[in-house]
Chains A and B, each alone.
Chain A
Amino acid sequence: MSRPVDNLDDALQAAISRGLDALTPDQVERLAAILDERPDLAAQLADRIPVIEPQLADALAQAERQSLPSTGAWSRAWDRIADAQPKVARRTRVGPQILRLWRPLAAVAACLVLAAAWWIGTPRPPTAPPLRLATDLEIDRLEVYDGDTPFVVSIGDSGAVIIWVLEERS
């Protein structure tokens, strides 16, 4: 049976050496609050891997084994991932061609220098700060026109969504 610990220093050392089970719920909350404020103390825990009981790991493996995708499903998943990859253009040999093109290239370079000078000299409007989108939306009720269909579409990876109504007439 785990021996309860007396103070927070001991609690942190117990968490490190014996695991979280050595602590009471109250000690965990107080220790968590202090660790959130004290990165130096949190660093003592940072490189520890929390222990998982073999029987729990075993039960998880068993529970998940039945849900693993089939070979065919994995193959289809890879096909979709591969399709999403950008195609890499084949390189062509350009060395000798550049030597023949030096006059037109010099003209293009001169134009670019002039354009850059104009751009630097032109006052530009100040950059607007990014919009802060909601990331914790909770919908209580949503009604749309007959025949229209509402969608909740994730945008970005911060949890933001857009409520998108697809009109029947579209």
Chain B
Amino acid sequence: MPRPVHVVSLALALMLSGVAGAADEPKDNRKPVDVDIWVIRASTKSKDISPELKSFADKLKQRFKYTGFRLERKIKETVDLGKTLTTSLTGGYQALVTPKAREKDKGAERLALQLQVLKEKEKKPRMNIEYKLEAGAFQPFGAWDLEGGDVLIILLSAK
């Protein structure tokens, strides 16, 4: 039969671990954000389309002159709300992504984000945008000049 002091100690330990666990677990609307950036090179000189971009490329080709869409890299990072992810894209461009808030709108989760696109050695961003969108959906942005007449397009999602 365990001694009373052991039972009390065990009970205290269990209680404290529960409290600690609750304190460690962020509330849903403060939890870190998974950011996903796809870096794309669009070209008029090529017709190659990366398989993951097929449906997206079909839509863009209806509106723009570009015929080739190459997925150069994917960047996946987890970022705390209010913190900024800084990452290189391609061609000397950088993206700064700051998730600002999580919201619920009619039961669906939305995220407020800030995205800045900069070119190296330049002080002012080429684009600075604050927006909201549904969690997990990709938003396209473009298009910044790359060498050879190609352009940079990025797809950004956060959840």
**Direct A–B touching in the complex (beta carbon < 8 Å)?**
yes
Taking Cβ atoms with an 8 Å cutoff, the residues of A that contact B are 125, 127-128, 130-146, 148, 150, 153-156, 160, 162-165, 167, 169-170
Residues of B contacting A146 with CB < 8 Å?
Answer: 124
The complex places the Cα of A127 from the Cα of B125 at a distance, in Å, of 36
* Nearest CB in chain A to that of B133: its residue: A134
* Given A140-B130, A165-B127, residue A133 in contact with residue B138 (CB < 8 A): yes
CB distance from A147 to the nearest CB of B (A): 11
* Nearest CB in chain A to that of B55: its residue: A130
Question: Given contacts A131-B56, A141-B129, A148-B127, could you give 8 more A-B pairs where the C-beta distance is less than 8 Å?
Answer: A131-B155, A133-B56, A133-B137, A140-B132, A153-B63, A165-B143, A167-B144, A169-B145
Task: Indicate the size class of the contact surface on chain B.
Answer: 35 or more
The complex places the Cα of A155 from the Cα of B133 at a distance, in Å, of 16
* Nearest CB in chain B to that of A167: its residue: B145
B94-123 with Cβ < 8 A to chain A: 110, 112
Taking Cβ atoms with an 8 Å cutoff, the residues of B that contact A are 51-56, 59-60, 62-64, 110, 112, 124-134, 136-145, 153, 155, 157
Residues of A contacting B55 with CB < 8 Å?
Answer: 130-131
* Nearest CB in chain B to that of A130: its residue: B55
CB distance from B9 to the nearest CB of A (A): 51
* Given A125-B51, A128-B52, A155-B63, residue A165 in contact with residue B133 (CB < 8 A): no
Residues of B contacting A128 with CB < 8 Å?
Answer: 51-52, 54
The complex places the Cα of A154 from the Cα of B53 at a distance, in Å, of 17
A–B pairs, 24, beta carbons within 8 Å: A128-B54, A131-B52, A131-B53, A131-B138, A133-B137, A133-B138, A134-B137, A135-B134, A136-B134, A138-B133, A139-B131, A142-B128, A143-B125, A143-B127, A150-B127, A153-B63, A155-B60, A162-B142, A163-B127, A164-B64, A164-B141, A164-B142, A165-B126, A165-B127
